[in-house]
Each structure stands twice: as structure tokens, then as C-alpha cells.
Amino acid sequence: MANPFKNIQGVTAWRAPSNIALVKYWGKFGQQYPRNASISFTLNNAFTETSIQYTAKESSDKNIDLNFYFEGKENPKFAEKIQRFLESLVQQFPFLPYFSLEIHSQNSFPHSTGIASSASSMAALALCLTSIENELDGGMYPSLFFEKASTIARLGSGSACRSVYPFLAVWGKHNHVQFSSNEHAIPFADNVHPVFKTFKDAILIVSSEEKSVSSRAGHALMDNNPFADARYQQANNNLDLLINAMKDGNIAKFGEIIENEALTLHALMMCSSPSYMLMQPNTLKIIDLIKTYRTEKDVPLYYTLDAGPNVHLLYPSENADEVENFIKHTLLDFCENQKVIFDEVGKGPIKLK
């Protein structure tokens, strides 16, 4: 059959940020559906930029024709992952087999910082693919565009679906959150106090080593975790509490909930079978120092953790100077090579020229 896209070519590029979950997604079913609803801050400085150059094929073969470059170089490991992902998306994007694709991707943060790049990279890729569809099809409503991009990002890496919106995003069906869905995230910035839209996130790198358990394996461990049902209930409840705290501008309550979420995530891993201990001694030291500092100085500084040893410090922008002094003078000694990434809540993805 002749290529219906004969002679068509173009290029599209997006920058998509990482995100940090406040109520965590841990446990999934089916095609990357979450067992509980989650909410995250969209970040600003930790991002991936991806471009896709697409050229209609001369040949009529139906294979996905991909050349993939990471930070300017061919990367067979990533290329294979992306190839498989694109092959799984032919139903959602029937145009894919008709084009030769050249994808370039790069992160704003070094690859070995222990920062997961899957959220930003899958979000950037999903936005590019949805843009190409838009360019070939003649345009979707903006809200539908981001819904589709979020759905596609979810299929690449669950938490990535939250990275397509500014400030805050909720993912997962929750009875008290209108329009919430397991399929895609929804934007959630409208109902929160402005203090949270300029929050800071300093990421203390305790270790940049690769995690000892992949997030795929970690989620799977929830299937046999004896506390799983109680956890899913707690998460949905924490989301209710957090939404109220954020609406009211109640930073102390916000802090109490996010720390509870971080420790619960790690507790779940500790009591899984097999079990994992992803915190390191310096993670605990940092947590201890934060608590003492908060009490002694009465500064609203709170922490959260991903599925790893690094610590995200969350604080209002008006406290940035004092907190950043505390980081530099006290906490940096507990980081690998004194490494910290200063980030903040951001305005979401950007379409690049």
C-alpha cells in the first residue's frame, strides 16, 4: 500500500520537567493503572528535552524505524526501550509505522545523580508524539491534547503522566477529586493557596548509584504486601487531608502529611518480600537534622523521599535564604561529593521551537 503520508516530514520538540510526589503512587494493576490516587509538584530545573524528526518512509514495511540519540550519542540500551515502547503505541498512533523517526533526548541534570529521569523523559516523548499526531491530523482541543499526552506518558512510566501539567497534578481516580482518572493525570493548581506555587525543592544527593530495585519490581511487591489494602486507603485519605491543607495554606499540616507519605513508602519496601532498605545512614542523619532545625528555628522545612536514598527538602520561597544557608553549612556534608540540586515548583512543559 502506498504511504498515505507520502512526502510529509517535520520536527517537533518539547521540554518536560520531572515531578516529585507528595502523596505517593506505589502499587499498580493492568496497564499501568495506580492502586491509589497520587499528587505531585511539577518541578522546574530538572527536565528532559526531546525532539523527533519524522520523515515519511519510501518503503512499505511496517516496522518502527528509529534512530535514537541520548545527549548527542547513540545509546543502544535506551534505543531498545524506546523502540519497544513505540511498537506498543501503534494502536494509539497509527501513523508511527509510516515514518522514519530520529529522536534526540537530553536531560538538564547529569545522568548519574540518582534522579529518576523516567518521568521527564517519558513526558517529553509523549508530548512530542501527541504533537506529531496533532500536526498530521489538524489539531485537538488543548485540554484533550494534554490528556492524551498524559495517557501516553503513563504507559511509559506511571508517574510521568503527572509531568505534563504546571504546578500540581493529581493522578488516579479519587471520589472527592472531580474529573480524576486512572487513565491520565489532571491539572490541580487552581484550588491551592499561592504559597505552594512557588515552593522550593532542594534535592540532596546522598547517593547517585542506581537503585537496587527497579520501580517496576517495587510496584509488583505491593501485590503480596500484607499492608497493601490499608496503604491504599491511607493514601486516598492522605490525599483528602493534603488537598485541604493546601487549600488553606496550612504548611505545617502539609509537612506532616508529606513526611508521613515518604516514610510509609520506605516502610512498605522494608516489609515487602523480599525486603528493600533504600535509605542510607546519611538519609537518616539528614532527616534528623531537618527535624531539629525545624523545631529550634521554627522554619517550615519538610522532607520527602523517592524510592531511593536522596532527600527532597520542601520549603516556601520566602524561607529560601535561611534554608539554603542551613543546607550549605550543615547538610552538604552528608551528601555524595556535596551534591545538591536546587529546584522549585514549575510552570510545566514547554513546546520548543
DSSP class of residue 330? I
Instruction: Mark 164-203 with x for binding to ligand PMV (rule: CB under 6 A) and - for no binding.
Output: ----------------------------------------
Interaction between residue 158 and ligand PMV (CB under 6 A): yes
Measured between alpha carbons, how far is 166 from 188 in angstroms, rounded to an integer?
Answer: 8
The amino acid present at 279, given as its one-letter code, is: M
Interface stretch with ligand PMV, choices 5-13, 102-110, 157-165, 322-330 (CB under 6 A): 157-165
Interaction between residue 41 and ligand PMV (CB under 6 A): no
Give least dist CB 315 to ligand PMV, A: 20
Q: Which is nearer to ligand PMV, 123 or 286 (CB)?
A: 123
Interaction between residue 38 and ligand PMV (CB under 6 A): yes
Q: Which residue has the cell 528493600?
A: 276
Interaction between residue 18 and ligand PMV (CB under 6 A): no
Interface stretch with ligand PMV, choices 1-9, 156-164, 187-195, 296-304 (CB under 6 A): 156-164
Q: List the grid coordinates of 177.
A: 477529586
3-state SS, residue 248: helix
Give least dist CB 245 to ligand PMV, A: 18
Measured between alpha carbons, how far is 320 from 333 in angstroms, rounded to an integer?
Answer: 19
From candidates 215, 236, 282, 304, binder to ligand PMV by CB under 6 A:
215
Measured between alpha carbons, how far is 319 from 140 in angstroms, rounded to an integer?
Answer: 41
Long-range Cβ pairs for the range 132-137 (8 Å, 24+): 132/10, 132/12, 132/52, 132/54, 132/93, 132/95, 133/93, 133/95, 135/10, 135/12, 136/5, 136/8, 136/95
Q: Which is nearer to ligand PMV, 116 or 323 (CB)?
A: 116
Interface stretch with ligand PMV, choices 87-95, 155-163, 292-300, 336-344 (CB under 6 A): 155-163
Interaction between residue 306 and ligand PMV (CB under 6 A): yes
Interaction between residue 307 and ligand PMV (CB under 6 A): yes
- Give the chain's end-to-end CA distance (angstroms, integer): 34
Total residues in contact with ligand PMV, by rule CB under 6 A:
13
Measured between alpha carbons, how far is 266 from 276 in angstroms, rounded to an integer?
Answer: 8
In contact, 225 and 272? CB cutoff 8 Å = yes
Interface stretch with ligand PMV, choices 153-161, 268-276, 327-335, 341-349 (CB under 6 A): 153-161
Residues 91-120 that bind ligand PMV (CB under 6 A): 118
Interaction between residue 42 and ligand PMV (CB under 6 A): no
Q: Which is nearer to ligand PMV, 188 or 326 (CB)?
A: 188
Angstrom CA distances, 290 to 26, 161, 259, 287, stand at: 25, 31, 11, 5
Q: List the grid coordinates of 100.
A: 522514519
Q: List the grid coordinates of 252.
A: 505545617
Interaction between residue 282 and ligand PMV (CB under 6 A): no
Give least dist CB 159 to ligand PMV, A: 3
| HSE-CB of 130 using CA atoms within 13 angstroms | 23
From candidates 15, 18, 24, 313, binder to ligand PMV by CB under 6 A:
24
Interaction between residue 131 and ligand PMV (CB under 6 A): no
Q: Which is nearer to ligand PMV, 123 or 323 (CB)?
A: 123
Interface stretch with ligand PMV, choices 17-25, 78-86, 203-211, 275-283 (CB under 6 A): 17-25
State the helix-helix crossing angle for 228-248 and 251-270, rounded to 10 degrees: 160
Give least dist CB 81 to ligand PMV, A: 13
Virtual torsion, Cα 247, 252, 253, 259, nearest 10 deg: 120
State the residues that interact with ligand PMV by CB under 6 A: 21, 24-26, 38, 118, 157-159, 215, 265, 306-307
